[in-house]
Amino acid sequence: MKLVFSLLLIGVGLFQTIVYLRLKKTFNRWPTVAGEITHSRLLNQMDAEGKNVLEAIIYFKYNFRGKEYESNTPALRGYDFFPSFDYEHGLVKKYPKGEVVNLKVHPNEPNLAYLEVAPFSKISAALAPLGIILLVAYYVWLGELAF
């Protein structure tokens, strides 16, 4: 049961990476609209479990096909085990409150818009397959998994 749960968690990480790569491939073909940054700050704190949370919190509003939307997805991202302080801080500096910017809107989901594409985390992507290998090896070593 532990193995299935662990593999499920790793699979979710891989799935998020695949979705990111697929969306990134079509990102430049999405419609570009003007939007206004309504909130911009850097969240850098410990959560209740003692884990450091690092994220650019950026809200923006925009009009698409005659309807107004608001979003808080500044960057199209893949799953990232190691968020970059420099990247997150750079987003907040690049998109200050009140700034009018171009953004990309998903044509079939207009409530989904992004300011840019985040760099792909190769380290995070490599850790998922490595995690599977180590997890299976651990269970084989314990004798709880037999082939």
Q: Residue ranges of the domains in the chain?
A: 2-142
Q: What is the mean pLDDT of residues 79-100?
A: 85
Which residues have CB under 8 Å from 129's CB, separation 6+?
14
DSSP 125: H
What are the tokens at 16?
Answer: 């998020």
Write down the mean pLDDT value for the chain: 81
Q: Distance (Å, rounded) from C-alpha 94 to C-alpha 24? A: 20
pLDDT reading at 90 higher than 80: yes
Q: Is the pTM of this model over 0.85?
A: no
Q: Distance (Å, rounded) from C-alpha 145 to C-alpha 111? A: 45
